[in-house]
Amino acid sequence: MEFLRRQVRQYQEKKLDEILSNIQFHQYKKNQLEQKIKEMAFDETTKIREEISFNEKMIEIWQRNEEKLRRQMSEMEN
């Protein structure tokens, strides 16, 4: 039984690392696009604003996934 718990825990930690990596990636992309907007004329920024919006949504999704996984991990320990 302990072996199974250890395997599940390792898998959860791996998934958590992936989630955190995805959050960082989308935050980085969002910041890059925001910097790019500052350098452009307003007319050219529509597509970039859509990309920023997409990255914000992805950040929210991955943060919810992180919370869910952390909750599952804490339940496994109990």
Q: Is residue 56 part of a domain?
A: yes
What's the whole-model pTM score? 0.65
Q: Is residue 41 part of a domain?
A: no
Mapping DSSP to helix (H, G, I), strand (E, B) and coil, where does residue 21 land? helix
Q: Is residue 75 part of a domain?
A: yes
Q: Is residue 39 part of a domain?
A: no
Q: Is residue 29 part of a domain?
A: no
Q: Is residue 15 part of a domain?
A: no
Print the domain residue range for 73.
50-78
pLDDT tens for 32-73 read 988 888 877 666 677 888 889 999 999 999 999 999 999 998
pLDDT category of residue 3 using cuts at 50, 70 and 90: confident
Q: Is residue 59 part of a domain?
A: yes
Q: Which among 76, 73, 34 has a CA at the least distance from the CA of 53?
A: 34
Looking at the structure of the chain, the number of domains it has is 1
Residue 38's pLDDT is: 80
